[in-house]
């Protein structure tokens, strides 16, 4: 069983012997919606063999020229999901292994990228009937913890924040904006962010729901319920396990970040520019900063400009640190969104080249204080019986 698990973890981290791992990049196509159908749009995306994405026609001559410049209208990803793909399949192919890895003290992050209305929030959060990655990950995590409750003790902490207009807000206890601080390991984190302990799936769901109600949502022309903020759900799993008869205990900490990015379209795509220019500019600032970080990472630059935005500072360890990272690029099938789709696929294609350090288990061995050894003996006994 242990061998199997190790193999699985190797596969997740995509190790190539150098301790590097590659970002896994997926594309998800959403079904054509009513508005698009009514506008008489045609489908301009085709997914072949579950991996290849073809842009099949152009909205206009300019698109054709732009596409030629980007060399090709065909992209290949780790997997590409056609519009009929159910939520649980997206979850199991993109995130399930990261949840397993987090239980082993490793870091993972999943982020959804794409234009407003392309299906990011549907993928991450989903609906009551069709829950998305965040919900399925919480369910899976608690199921896995319950299955191995004799194997150790797990503590799950949740935090949920949003970056809106270059301001960080705590979605679980709204109040003053949070500042960024660098911790001892050089990891940027929002200082004073609430960490709630969750004991069950239900509790995790309640926290998630509470956080969503606090999200900044603004109607835009493109999509009435779209959010112009970036939301980051962080799940920290602590495990302590009795190692051996000497009563040493092993502490492991794994962190999973699930990120719903704001729409990647340029501010030009919406016409309420004057009204929203500040917002538009800062969304662009974060996403622009994200794209320059991706560029710098792909080109192997020494200096990666994380400091240019709040978002990139928060994602620093997901992009360039020891972390197993997954990107899901969401696209619409309509030729009316051709430009955005092309842009999204272009960035997704570039992200494939990012190498991160494979996440090692964050593990620490501690000698138990005398007064706790009785409990430890009991735990060890239980572990053996298991």
Binding site for Mg ion (CB under 5 A): 120-121, 227
57 near ligand ADP, rule: CB under 6 A? no
119 binds ligand ADP (CB under 6 A): yes
Q: Which stretch binds ligand ADP (CB under 6 A): 27-35, 154-162, 272-280, 282-290?
A: 27-35
If the CB atoms of residues 121 and 264 are measured against Mg ion, the closer one turns out to be 121
CA distances from 140 to 146, 203, 314, 338 (A): 10, 14, 25, 36
Query: Contact between 30 and ligand ADP (CB under 6 A)?
Result: yes
Beta strand pairing status for 355-357 and 153-164?
unpaired
The token duo for 293 is 């970080």
- Least Å distance, CB 118 to ligand ADP, is 4
Is 118 annotated as belonging to a binding site?
A: yes
Which of residues 31, 72, 192, 305 is near ligand ADP by CB under 6 A? Answer: 31
Between 261 and 304, name the residue whose CB sits nearer to ligand ADP: 261
Phi, psi of 24 (to 5 degrees): -90, 130
To the question of whether residue 126 is assigned a binding role by annotation, the answer is no
- Give the x-and-dash track for 172-211 against ligand ADP (CB under 6 A): ----------------------------------------
Residue 194 binding target from ligand ADP, Mg ion, none, CB below 5 to 8 Å by type: none
d(CA 146, CA 332): 38
Distance CA 133, CA 125 (A): 6
* The pair of three-digit structure tokens given for residue 129, joined into one six-digit string: 């009937």
Of 324 and 332, nearer to ligand ADP (C-beta) is 332
Query: Are 264 and 344 within 8 A, CB to CB?
Result: yes
Question: According to the binding rule CB under 6 A, does residue 131 interact with ligand ADP?
Answer: no
Query: Which residues sit opposite 178 in a β-bridge?
Result: 168
> Interface mask (CB under 6 A) for ligand ADP, residues 65-104, using x and -?
----------------------------------------
Comparison of 120 and 169: residue with beta carbon closer to ligand ADP? 120
Long-range contacts made by residues 216-221, C-beta under 8 angstroms, separation at least 24? Answer: 216/162, 216/164, 216/169, 218/276, 218/279, 220/116, 220/263, 220/270, 220/272, 220/276, 221/270, 221/271, 221/272
Residue from the set 105, 117, 131, 211 that interacts with ligand ADP by CB under 6 A: 117
Identify residues 305-364 at the interface with ligand ADP (CB under 6 A). Answer: 330
116 binding ligand ADP? (CB under 6 A):
yes
CA–CA distances in Å: residue 87 to residues 21, 130, 335: 26, 7, 24
Q: Which is nearer to ligand ADP, 20 or 89 (CB)?
A: 89
Is residue 121 close enough to count as binding ligand ADP by CB under 6 A? yes
Residues making up the binding site for ATP = 114-121
Interface residue list for ligand ADP (CB under 6 A): 30-31, 33, 114, 116-122, 223, 226, 263, 330
């Amino acid at each position: 069983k242990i061998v199997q698990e190790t193999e699985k973890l190797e596969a997740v981290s995509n190790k190539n012997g150098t301790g590097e791992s590659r970002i896994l990049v997926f594309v998800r196509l959403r079904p054509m919606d009513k508005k698009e159908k009514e506008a008489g749009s045609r489908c301009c995306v085709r997914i072949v063999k579950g991996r290849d994405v073809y842009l099949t026609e152009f909205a206009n001559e300019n698109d054709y020229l732009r596409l030629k410049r980007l060399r090709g209208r065909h992209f290949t990803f780790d997997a590409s999901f056609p519009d009929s793909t159910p939520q649980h399949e997206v979850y199991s192919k993109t995130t399930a292994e990261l949840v397993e890895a987090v239980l082993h003290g490793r870091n993972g992050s999943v982020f959804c990228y794409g234009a407003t209305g392309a299906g990011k929030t549907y993928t991450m959060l989903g609906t009551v009937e069709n829950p998305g990655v965040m919900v399925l990950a919480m369910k899976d995590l608690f199921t896995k913890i319950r299955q191995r409750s004799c194997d150790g003790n797990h503590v799950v902490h949740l935090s949920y924040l949003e970056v809106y207009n270059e301001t960080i807000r705590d979605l679980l206890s709204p109040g003053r904006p949070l500042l960024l601080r660098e911790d001892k390991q050089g990891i940027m984190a929002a200082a004073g962010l609430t960490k709630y302990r969750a004991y069950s799936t239900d509790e995790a769901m309640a926290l998630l729901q509470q956080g969503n109600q606090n999200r900044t949502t603004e109607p835009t022309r493109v999509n009435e319920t779209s959010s112009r903020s970036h939301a980051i759900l962080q799940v920290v799993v602590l495990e302590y396990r009795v190692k051996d008869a000497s009563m040493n205990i092993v502490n492991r900490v794994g962190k999973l970040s699930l990120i719903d990015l704001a729409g990647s379209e340029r501010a030009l795509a919406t016409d309420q520019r004057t009204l929203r220019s500040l917002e538009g500019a800062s969304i662009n600032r974060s996403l622009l900063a994200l794209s320059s970080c991706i560029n710098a990472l792909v080109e192997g630059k020494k200096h990666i400009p994380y400091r240019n935005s709040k978002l990139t500072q928060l994602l620093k360890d997901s992009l360039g640190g020891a972390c197993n990272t997954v990107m899901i690029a969401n696209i619409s099938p309509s030729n009316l969104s051709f430009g955005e789709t092309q842009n999204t696929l272009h960035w997704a294609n570039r992200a494939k080249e990012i190498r991160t350090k494979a996440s090692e288990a964050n593990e620490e061995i501690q000698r138990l204080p005398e007064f706790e050894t009785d409990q430890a003996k009991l735990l060890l006994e239980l572990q053996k019986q298991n």
